[in-house]
Structure 1
Amino acid sequence: VLRVNGDFLAQERTRGATLKPISACCDIPELGDPEPLRECSNPKLSGPCNDVQCVFEKSGFLTDKQSLNKEAYRAHLRKWLEGHKEWSDAIEKAIKDCVDRDL
């Protein structure tokens, strides 16, 4: 028999996220350019995706607030790949499955 304390669950929900970014735990190089990352991270923007939206806007990866500039982002990923050859399969899959498709 499983017994759950409702107050405990409410406390857990209001405590906020405690997860570290994946890059803090794994050796994953940053995909973005340092300047937009710095500008959009300090202070961290509120909301679940506002920091990513900011980085994409400042990097020229959007044609408007909701549309990816596919050519610019594809070119950025391939340029990044020149210094990170070991990520070739993952980047090419991301381009094929995410950038080149209309999601």
Structure 2
Amino acid sequence: MRPVPAAPPASFTLYARGYCHLCDDMLAALQALETPSQPFAITVVDVDADPALGARFDELVPVLYGALDQPELCHYFLDRVAVLAYLEGQARNPVGRPEIR
């Protein structure tokens, strides 16, 4: 029997600004949720580096997404419940693996 490949870690995208203390706070709160048994990747995107992103998010930052094709998980402050639910969903059905019922 071949071993099942490891599931990729969950990932988050945080739309932020460099001078935004709320953005720093959300990043720190998100990083505090990571554990050795549940690692995840965080991509921080500076909305001011792209005029389209700056126009889209304006003063809404920070904005946190899990899957970019899904609605945001939270903005301004980390929604711990939403993030943990997203991580639980990723653990149950990682990308690329069919859901077994």
Q: Does TM, scored on the shorter chain, surpass 0.5? A: no
Name whichever structure is richer in helix by fraction. 1
Higher strand share: 2
TM-score, length-scaled by structure 1: 0.28
